[in-house]
Chain A
Amino acid sequence: MAVPYTFGTSTAAIPLSNLDSNFATTITLGNTAIQLGNTVTTLNNMTLVNSTVSSLANGTSNVSIATSGGAITVSTNGTQAMLVNTVQGVQVTNTLGVGATTPATSGAGISFPATQSGSSDANTLDDYEEGTWTPTVTFSSGSATVASAAAYIKIGKTCFVNGYISFSSVSAATAASITNFPFTAVSLSGTPRQVFVAREDAATGKMGQFFISAGTTTAGLQDYLGANGVTVIADGYKWVFSGTYNTST
């Protein structure tokens, strides 16, 4: 047997007698020469076929990469975490974190960065966030007691909002502005505002409209004919609304 011996051409077990007495004979894996006692951490130009790479700790395989039937399986602690298959693509068992995000530990899904990492590519989804916000009302004149609550879901540059605003103790209140929207509405030439549908859900059942101004987090409130003031602000009125608007980021 030639020394150094290249394992890549071996067709049979190699007897220890072929190694020299002090185990200094090198063997070659890929194009990396190693010998017993070496602590080589990188092997170059190797091809593994139907192979499993595993790490054992306390008798349990806590990391393994295995190939089978054209697929690669990545497992931790004996449980499959990811499957890569040229036909089906990539399958993850729980949650996929993008942008170096630590995946959420509950449920299964995609975890985005807590702070958006905006993409300029038109085909890339770069943000997801859900939460709450509190609509705040300011009046041109007069006053009223306001109760409100709302929620949002932002997907990319689209923000879904829904919530309610109710009025009591109304005193000559006139045109109202709804502020504190969770994201700034996009500024788009020729489109000064975006509109949500609203319904007065406690006293009259009348329809209304919220319209958020471009580049702002402020909306107006009118009934379906464009009237405001006492038409939309009265004791006991509760406006429920839902809609979608495009955001600036």
Chain B
Amino acid sequence: MSSTKTTTVDQITVAENGIVLYREATCVMEDNNELSKTYHRNSLTPGQDLAGIPNNVVAICHIAWTDKVIAAYQAALAAQQQSE
């Protein structure tokens, strides 16, 4: 009887405005049976620092975050903050 605990990025979603959401799933397996699974979620806004982010998520960000997407997101955010 052996158990293993693994954490993987099991879901990456790109929102229309370029926000990248990803989910890390931590599974505890024993003899190929899943004993438990927990989720931890993260979201990344266009243009933000990607230090420490999993490589497969970084790859998606580089594709999704064109200069145009980053500029549009920051403009939208600035407009919302002005109305606060």
- A residues at B contact (CB < 8 Å): 105, 114-115, 129-134, 152, 179-184, 192-193, 211, 213-218, 220, 222, 226, 248
Report the minimal beta-carbon distance from A134 to chain B, rounded to whole angstroms: 7
CA distance A192 to B77 in the complex (A): 10
List 7 extra interface pairs beyond A182-B42, A216-B77, A220-B81, CB under 8 A.
A131-B38, A182-B43, A184-B43, A214-B80, A215-B16, A217-B21, A222-B84
A152→B23 CA distance, assembly (Å): 12
Indicate which residue in B21, B23, B34, B80 contacts A184 across the interface (CB closer than 8 Å).
B21
| B15 x A179 contact (CB < 8 A) | no
Question: Is B62 engaged at the interface, CB distance under 8 Å to the other chain?
Answer: no
Residues of B within 8 A of A152 (CB): 41
Chain A CB within 8 A of B61 CB:
no
Residues of B in contact with A (beta carbons under 8 Å apart): 10-11, 15-17, 19, 21, 23, 25, 33-34, 38-45, 48, 76-77, 80-81, 83-84
Minimum CB–CB distance from B47 to chain A (whole Å) comes to 12
Which residues on the A side are within 8 Å of B45 (C-beta)? 179, 216-218
User: Assuming the A-B contacts A182-B21, A184-B21, are A192 and B40 also in contact, with contact meaning beta carbons closer than 8 angstroms in the complex?
Assistant: no
Q: Which residues of A contact B33 (CB under 8 A)?
A: 105
Q: Kindly report which residue of chain A lies nearest to residue B17, judged by CB atoms.
A: A215
Question: From residue B50, how far is it (CB to closest CB) to chain A in Å?
Answer: 13
A-B contact pairs, 29 of them (CB 8 A): A105-B33, A105-B34, A114-B25, A131-B23, A131-B38, A131-B41, A133-B40, A133-B42, A179-B48, A180-B43, A181-B43, A182-B42, A182-B43, A183-B21, A183-B41, A184-B43, A192-B80, A193-B84, A215-B15, A215-B16, A215-B17, A216-B17, A216-B19, A216-B45, A216-B76, A217-B21, A217-B43, A220-B84, A248-B15
- Give the CA-CA distance A133 to B43 in the complex, in Å: 9
Counting from the closest, the 8 A-B pairs by CB-CB distance are A131-B39, A182-B41, A217-B43, A213-B80, A133-B41, A184-B15, A132-B40, A180-B43
Q: Which residues of A contact B43 (CB under 8 A)?
A: 179-184, 217
A169-B41 Cα distance, complex, nearest whole Å: 27
Contacting residue for B10 out of A114, A179, A180, A183, CB 8 A: A114
Contact A192 B38 (CB under 8 A): no
Closest to A213 in B: B80
Task: Say whether, besides A182-B21, A217-B19, A132 and B83 are in contact (CB < 8 Å).
Answer: no
Complex: A213 Cα to B84 Cα, angstroms? 10
Residue of chain A at shortest CB distance from B34? A105
Q: How far is the CB of B12 from chain A (nearest CB, A)?
A: 11
